[in-house]
Structure 1
Amino acid sequence: MTESTGARASTALVDDPASGPMVRVEDLHRSYGSGASAVHALRGVSFEIARGELIALKGRSGSGKTTLLNLVGGLDSPDEGRITVDGTELAGLGEKQLLELRRDRIGFVFQAFGLIPILSAAENVGVPMRLRKTRSREREERVQLLLSLVGLADHASQRPGELSGGQQQRVAIARALANRPALLIADEPTGQLDAETGLAVMELLRAVVRGEGVTALVATHDAQLLGLADRVIELSDGEITEH
């Protein structure tokens, strides 16, 4: 084997979605503004997440957690650095391809739940599958399965306003799993919940990672919840300070 052939083979192995990490972040930089007033949200961040891991992203407000989640989820672009998700480098994707990546391979859970008020719990969970044009019967079966998974099978017809905060977040998690994503990104998913409910939601995420075979990156500042993660990555002023 020649040197060049060996190099190509090595690269192919690293970029093989089945053998490489779920997420690879390399020397990531992101700033907002310019000149003396520029805010450096991320400064040379690098890490990898193995498939099936639940990673907690820790840091104070303003440390760069949300910026990092937005970049990994393809919602924003870095100034410098590379992001690879499930074997795909994000920088090489057009807007349509990024949209498809977010729809089909990444699930998002936000602190504010983000449910559609006029839709029932079941209808909210089904929205991503409607966008994907999933067949009606398959969609209904998946919705029923997911609501059972998050313990809300008996609340399928209720609207968000009729559910508690913890129940709404469970619906949001079920919706994030609708299209069987490879990666689940959660930004302070327990931030609006009391301690007991927040712990229950984090335990649910832990169970989902195991049961659905999903990789998860979860931003949280709750020390009690950090213990449920496989690893903790701590950010401070846009840099990793503990890994």
Structure 2
Amino acid sequence: MTQQPAGTVTVTAPMVTVTDVRRSFGTGERAVHALRGVSFTIGRGELTALKGRSGSGKTTLLNLVGGLDSPTGGTITLDGTDMGGLDEDGRLALRRDRLGFVFQSFGLLPVLTAAENVGIPMRLRKVPAAQREERARTLLALVGLADHANQRPGELSGGQQQRVAIARALANEPDLIIADEPTGQLDSETGRSIMELLRAVVRSEGVTVLVATHDPNLMELADRVVELRDGHIVEDPAPVA
């Protein structure tokens, strides 16, 4: 095995690399250009906040990074995997095995308990029931809901439902969590507690998070803030060391 010289610094590749990404809808004069040559990287274990007004391209960019859509041009890589080289089955496997999603509307199934909602991604991977139930309990404890495992979404507050959604996003030990306005339906105090939870998850689980938010009070919890305006990045400070 080759040894590195003393003092050599090992540089790890970014978790996400977005290079000259463009996304247009429609053709000709009526085409809508949602993204116009966007480039940036997200480091491993980094919480990056994406800000911008409605129509700036935030959700389009999240959908592309999450493999829910394909760019018109440019490339996106996740941990060195070129997402453009994946077929639909490959993108499905990537979303199932390596990504977690948190949505503004929580996205919980009302007929299932909190623990059962957390277990859904593991069911898709055919994780044995005992292992699935144990991890669901562990994750609910992580987000402060150990005593609410058997309650259904309608019996939980908005903040509690979003905590269940975060636990669900962590179920399959993803490399990256994508959160689209996760505090949009919450009051400011509850919203901040959710962002603080995401911050804590980055530290404790080593996961990378890309979160879209319009709340400037929450951006201070991010390692870095990237601003989109009219499909362009207008602000992208260097990652926090």
Letter in 2 for 1:188: E
Question: In structure 2, which of residues 48, 66, 80 is the aligned counterpart of residue 55 of structure 1?
Answer: 48
Mapping for residues 158-173 of structure 1, pairs under 5 Å: 158-173=151-166
The alignment covers a number of residue pairs equal to 226
Could you say what secondary structure the match of 2:183 adopts? coil
Normalised TM-score (structure 2): 0.93
Mapping for residues 60-75 of structure 1, pairs under 5 Å: 60-75=53-68
1:217 pairs with 2:210: yes
What's the CA shift for 1:140?
1.1
Could you say what secondary structure the match of 1:221 adopts? coil
**Cα distance between partner residues in 2 of 1:33 and 1:91:** 20
**Cα distance between partner residues in 2 of 1:228 and 1:115:** 26
1:105 pairs with 2:98: yes
**Cα distance between partner residues in 2 of 1:146 and 1:210:** 15
**Cα distance between partner residues in 1 of 2:25 and 2:185:** 27
Superimposed CA distance per residue, residues 115-156 of structure 1 (whole angstroms, 9 cap, x where no aligned partner): 001000000000000110011121111101100000001110
Higher helix share: 1
Could you say what secondary structure the match of 2:119 adopts? helix
Could you say what secondary structure the match of 1:52 adopts? coil
CA RMSD of aligned residues (A): 0.8
Residue identity (%): 73
Superimposed CA distance per residue, residues 186-214 of structure 1 (whole angstroms, 9 cap, x where no aligned partner): 00000000000000000000000110000
Mapping for residues 1-243 of structure 1, pairs under 5 Å: 19-243=12-236
What's the CA shift for 1:107?
0.3
**Cα distance between partner residues in 2 of 1:95 and 1:55:** 27
**Cα distance between partner residues in 2 of 1:210 and 1:75:** 27
**Cα distance between partner residues in 1 of 2:137 and 2:149:** 8
Q: What are structure 2's unaligned runs of at least 5 residues? A: 1-10, 237-241
What's the CA shift for 1:19?
2.7
Q: What are structure 1's unaligned runs of at least 5 residues? A: 1-17
Runs of 4+ aligned structure 1 residues displaced above 4 Å come to: none
What's the CA shift for 1:181?
0.1
Could you say what secondary structure the match of 1:42 adopts? strand
